[in-house]
Structure 1
Amino acid sequence: MKTVLTNKNISIRTRRRALECYIEPILMYGCEAWTISKQTQLEATEMWFLRRMLRISWTAKKTNDTVLEEAHTTRLLISKIRKRQATFFGHVMRREKLENLVTTGMLEGKRSRGKQREKLIEGLTDWLKAGKSLEAIEATKDRKKWRTMIANAVKQGT
Structure 2
Amino acid sequence: MWCYRRMLRLSWTQKVTNMKVLQRVGMSRKLMQTVKKRKVAYLGHILKNERYQLLQLIMMGKIEGKRRRGRRKRSWLRNIWEWTGVTTVEQLFRLASDREEFSKLTANVQ
Q: CA–CA distance in 2 between the matches of 1:72 and 1:110?
A: 48
Q: Residue 148 of structure 1 corresponds to which residue in structure 2?
A: 104
**Are 1:121 and 2:66 matched, yes or no?**
no
In the alignment, structure 2 segments of 5+ residues that lack a partner are none
Q: CA–CA distance in 2 between the matches of 1:87 and 1:122?
A: 15
Q: Residue 92 of structure 2 corresponds to which residue in structure 1?
A: 136
In the alignment, structure 1 segments of 5+ residues that lack a partner are 13-52
- Whether the 8 Å contact between 2:60 and 2:89 is mirrored in structure 1 is no
Q: Residue 86 of structure 1 corresponds to which residue in structure 2?
A: 40
**Are 1:68 and 2:22 matched, yes or no?**
yes
1:55 to partner: Cα distance: 3.9
Runs of 4+ in 1 over 6 A off after TM superposition: none
**Identity percentage of aligned residues:** 22
Q: Flag the structure with more relative contact order, 1 or 2, with Cα contacts below 8 A and sequence separation at least 6.
A: 2
1:70 to partner: Cα distance: 1.4
The count of corresponding residues between Structure 1 and Structure 2 is 107
1:63 to partner: Cα distance: 7.8
RMSD: 2.9
TM-score (norm 2): 0.75
Amino acid at match of 2:24: E
TM-score (norm 1): 0.55
Q: CA–CA distance in 2 between the matches of 1:6 and 1:63?
A: 9
1:144 to partner: Cα distance: 1.0
